[in-house]
């Protein structure tokens, strides 16, 4: 005796019971295989990206190139997995490509910023205005470069905040790289009251500088008299230090100079 559902389909809906059963089985199998390809493919993509990063790190590859290529590899492999999954589901790639072509203009407009960020990442990698580990200022944000990915650059600020900046605006904007050069100059300015001896202040500043071993001798330290106002004089101190020592030397100099000039009865004028 034929199943009731078969009679209903044949008499009312016009479907063949066995054909429907085979179609459901095929669609279910294709859907399962597509999901399986996605899960396994994404997992393998992450492994491949991490393996590539480890290989490049062991070969002493530039850290900027490591993070960029790792991100690019992961994205490309996942895109390939998605295309393979769609094909497995039974969608013809010729139709899929035709659909993408028809929507190409809209997609291009929607992703123009993304493509710009990708191009910016390539420019950063090629021209190297900064690399991973540098301390930079870009887009009014200062921080240490942690990662350069295909679309974004990750900065860690001095208080350990993570700032994610798009590569496009960074590549096309002004960049200040504080650590690219080996040495940096510390510029300090002191306002002393009229009547204080500049020569004495100069000698004391040079003596303090000579005791600081982290200050380099070339270029030589400089002490000069700046603007002269009705109540004060400006004393400028310029010294050069290794880039890594910049902050520590600056704070130590400020402390030593303040203590020494105060003990010598110099009078600082506060604006």
Question: What pLDDT, in 10s, does the model give residues 92-151?
Answer: 666 556 655 655 555 455 556 777 888 888 888 888 899 989 999 999 999 999 988 888
Determine if the peptide bond prior to 219 is cis (ω within 30°): yes
Structurally, what CATH architecture does the domain formed by 116-177 represent? Roll (2.30)
pTM for the full predicted model: 0.60
Spatial neighbors of 118 by CB under 8 A, at least 6 apart, are: 150, 151, 167
DSSP 56-110: HHHTT--HHHHHHHHHHHHHHHHHHHHHHHHHHTT--HHHHHHHHHHTHHHHHHH
Structurally, what CATH architecture does the domain formed by 4-63+70-102 represent? Orthogonal Bundle (1.10)
Domain ranges of the chain: 4-63+70-102, 116-177, 183-263
Give the CA distances from residue 132 to residues 89, 98, 156, 174, in Å, rounded to whole numbers and listed in that order: 42, 41, 11, 18
Q: Are strands 141-148 and 152-156 parallel, antiparallel or unpaired?
A: antiparallel
Whether 4-63+70-102 shares its CATH topology with 116-177 is answered no
**Which CATH fold topology does 183-263 show?**
Alpha-Beta Plaits (3.30.70)
Confidence (pLDDT) at 177: 94
The model's pLDDT over 188-200, given as tens digits with 9 standing for 90+, comes to 998 888 888 899 9
């Amino acid at each position: 005796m034929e199943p009731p559902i078969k009679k209903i389909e044949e008499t009312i809906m016009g479907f063949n019971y066995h054909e429907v059963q085979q179609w459901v089985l095929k669609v279910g199998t294709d859907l399962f295989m597509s999901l399986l390809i996605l899960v396994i493919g994404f997992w393998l993509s992450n492994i491949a990206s991490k393996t590539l990063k480890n290989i490049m790190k062991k070969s002493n590859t530039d850290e900027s190139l490591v993070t960029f290529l790792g991100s690019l590899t992961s994205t490309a492999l996942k895109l390939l997995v998605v295309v393979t999954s769609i094909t497995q589901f039974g969608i013809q790639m010729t139709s899929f490509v035709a659909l993408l072509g028809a929507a190409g203009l809209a997609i291009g407009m929607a992703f123009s910023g993304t493509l710009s960020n990708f191009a910016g990442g390539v420019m950063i990698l090629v021209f190297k205005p900064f690399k991973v580990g540098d301390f930079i200022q870009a887009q009014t944000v200062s921080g240490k470069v942690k990662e350069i990915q295909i679309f974004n650059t990750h900065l860690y600020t001095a208080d350990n905040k993570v700032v994610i900046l798009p590569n496009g605006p960074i590549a096309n904007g002004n960049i200040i790289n504080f650590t690219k050069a080996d040495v940096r100059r510390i510029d300090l300015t002191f306002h002393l009251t009229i009547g204080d001896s500049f020569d004495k202040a100069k000698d004391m500043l040079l003596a303090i500088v000579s005791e600081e071993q982290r200050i380099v001798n070339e270029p030589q330290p400089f002490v000069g008299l700046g603007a002269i106002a009705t109540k004060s004089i400006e004393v400028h101190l310029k010294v050069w230090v290794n880039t890594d020592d910049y902050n520590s030397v600056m704070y130590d100099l400020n402390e030593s100079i303040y203590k020494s000039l105060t003990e010598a009865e110099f009078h600082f004028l506060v604006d």
